[in-house]
Amino acid sequence: MKRILLQQEDIKVIAEVRHTREVLAQEGIGDADVVVVAHPSISGGNDYLAYLQQECPSLRVIVVARSPTLPQVLAELRMGVRGLLNASCAVGHLPAAIRAVSAGKIYLHEEISRIVAADLTEVWKDHTHKSLTPRELEIFMRLAVGCKVSEIAAELAISVKTVSTHKARLMEKMGIISTSQLIQYAIVNKMFDADVSIG
């Protein structure tokens, strides 16, 4: 993958490490916009991704996974991962993913989207989000990209209690019982279209 990235005039590779634990120790990592994590281990990999997001909240993370599963995809999106690719097609799509994520978008390779959509019934494709108020929809979209209730409250300059109330109300309206279902719904109904790249 590094060889492909070095061929891109608009992408600069700052460092390459063998393990995600080494990322924060790299000189110049504070200047990076995006970090690509290839094949995070099942045991502890997601814990470290969460730690990385906590320590460097401005660092956008792309995950390249071998045979990703639905729970893995949803867990990583909940943690704020901004790009997801299947390892089998990463070489051809990684530059586009980095450009999209660096520009503030979410990048989901089409194989990842299929994994999410395959688990849903047609009932989930009924666009019930259209019944949400503008504020509920605003909060829905922030939840769908992994923002925490406290982060949403700070961004919108409202109380945590108000955000929690909106969250409970919108989930009740839509028949959604978890954040994972909320993320799935957003992907399947193409609600990220303005802010997501499907490659």
In a domain, 102, yes or no: yes
Helices (H), 7-122: 45-55, 70-78, 90-102, 110-118
Boundary-marking domain end, from 117, 146, 161? 117
What CATH number does residue 24 fall under? 3.40.50.2300
* pLDDT of the residue at 68: 83
The answer, yes or no, to whether residue 152 has pLDDT greater than 80, is yes
Clarify whether residues 89 and 127 are in a common domain. Answer: no
> Measured between alpha carbons, how far is residue 159 from residues 96, 142, 169 in Å?
37, 15, 16
Both 13 and 87 in one domain: the answer is yes
pTM summary value = 0.64
Question: Average pLDDT for residues 48-58, to the nearest whole number?
Answer: 74
Residue 101: φ, ψ to 5°: -65, -40
For 144, the enclosing helix (H) or strand (E) is: helix 134-144
Which carries the bigger pLDDT value, residue 139 or residue 56? 139
| Average pLDDT score, the chain | 78
Judged by DSSP in three states, 149 sits in helix
What is the pLDDT confidence band of residue 166, given thresholds at 50, 70 and 90? very high
Give the per-residue pLDDT at 15. Answer: 67
Residues 41 and 109 in one domain: yes
- Count of domains forming the chain: 2
Q: Where is the domain boundary, 117, 152, 181?
A: 117
Domain stop point among 97, 117, 137: 117
Q: Are residues 146 and 109 in the same domain?
A: no
What is the model's pLDDT at position 45?
57
E strand or H helix that includes residue 180: helix 179-188
Range of the domain at 164: 122-191
Mean pLDDT score, 97-114: 84
List 34's β-bridge partners, or say none: 60
Mode of pairing for the β-strands spanning 106-108 and 60-65: unpaired
Q: Are 93 and 62 in contact (CB under 8 A)?
A: no
